[in-house]
Amino acid sequence: MGDLASWVGIVIAAGSLVVAIVALRRSGRAAAEANAVQRQLVAIEEQRESERRAQAQKAALRPTLRKTGTSGYRLFVENSGSSAAQNVRVALGGKPLCEHPAAVRNDSLPSLIAPESEVSCLMAFSSSTPHPPFETEIAWEDGSGQPGSYSGTLTF
């Protein structure tokens, strides 16, 4: 009976050892998978942070044409971004703003637009000048290091 009890003890110990080894392998695999998922999450968060930083250095320009007074119009360019727009260039109908027939010659847009601000210039529409809609293109530089641009149709 003593021999049988010692064999049973050895079998139980060996079984316990096998169960421990299997559990150790499975927990190692689970830890490796968890680490891989964690690395992916860190990479996603780093990408989001990089995009957030780049977005914080971008200007966002949009034009509007607004009536001022009874017969006057002004072209407004708004920068809703969080970075200044530099070297701003506006084209209406494929022509630079300064060459457009409706642009008033002594009233031009500045080439720098601060963040969260707008600038404007006077427009003079008459029977001899083209009227909107105009295909509008705006190009600029900002703190992001990538050139900014806007393309759209400008109407009253």
Taking all residues of the chain, what is their mean pLDDT, rounded to a whole number?
89
Q: Are 82 and 53 in contact (CB under 8 A)?
A: no
Where do we find the tokens 């971008």? 58
Distances (CA, A) of 134 to 35, 90, 154: 55, 12, 5
Segments forming the whole domain that contains residue 80: 61-154
Same domain, 117 and 71: yes
Alpha carbon distance 60, 94 (integer Å): 21
Q: What is the mean pLDDT of residues 139-150?
A: 91
Whether 66 and 131 map to the same domain: the answer is: yes
Look at residue 77 in the predicted model and tell me its pLDDT.
97
Indicate if the pLDDT at residue 54 is higher than 80.
no
pLDDT over 70 percentage in the chain: 99
Extract the tokens encoding 32.
């490796």
Q: Summarize the confidence of residues 135-155 as an average pLDDT.
A: 93
Q: Kindly list the distances between the CA atom of residue 115 and the CA atoms of 25, 52, 152, in Å, as whole numbers in the listed order.
A: 57, 16, 21
The pLDDT, as a whole number, for residue 92 is: 93
pLDDT at 55 over 80: no
Q: Quick one: average pLDDT of 128-140?
A: 91
* CATH code of residue 89: 2.60.40
Both 107 and 40 in a single domain?
no
Predicted confidence (pLDDT) at residue 71 exceeds the cutoff of 90: no
- pLDDT computed for residue 78 by the predictor: 97
Sign of CA dihedral 87, 88, 94, 95: negative
- pLDDT over 70 at 1, yes or no: no
Claim to verify: residue 73 and residue 120 sit in the same structural domain = yes
Q: CA-CA distance, 27 to 24, in Å (whole number)?
A: 5
pLDDT at 44: 93
Burial 34-55 (b: 16+ CB within 10 A, else e): eeeeeeeeeeeeeeeeeeeeee
Whether 52 and 66 map to the same domain: the answer is no
Over residues 76-132, the pLDDT tens digits come to: 999 999 899 999 999 999 999 999 998 888 888 899 999 999 999 999 888 888 888
**Start-end of H helices in the chain:** 2-56
Give which of 41, 34, 113, 35 is closest to 75, Cα–Cα. 113
The predicted pLDDT at position 3 comes to 83
Q: Which of 56, 74, 101 is the last residue of a domain?
A: 56
